[in-house]
Structure 1
């Protein structure tokens, strides 16, 4: 049971980090396009 919780926590943390990275990348690309557009 403890192992399951640990694995779940690891996956959730990894997923959240991945999401955060994707968001940062998306914002960066968006910023690049808007700056170039202007």
Structure 2
């Protein structure tokens, strides 16, 4: 599902960029920019 895909993407990003302080900072900025959209139930 979507949650698994998001988790996999985050892990891959961490493996690619987290080796340096700048990489960690960039990841932090990337994930801070995300917004939560609450699911809605159809009526």
TM-score normalized by the length of structure 1: 0.46
* Structure ranking higher in helix proportion: 1
Larger Cα Rg: Structure 1 or Structure 2?
1
TM-score normalized by the length of structure 2: 0.41
Relative contact order (alpha carbons < 8 A, sep ≥ 6): 1 or 2 greater? 2
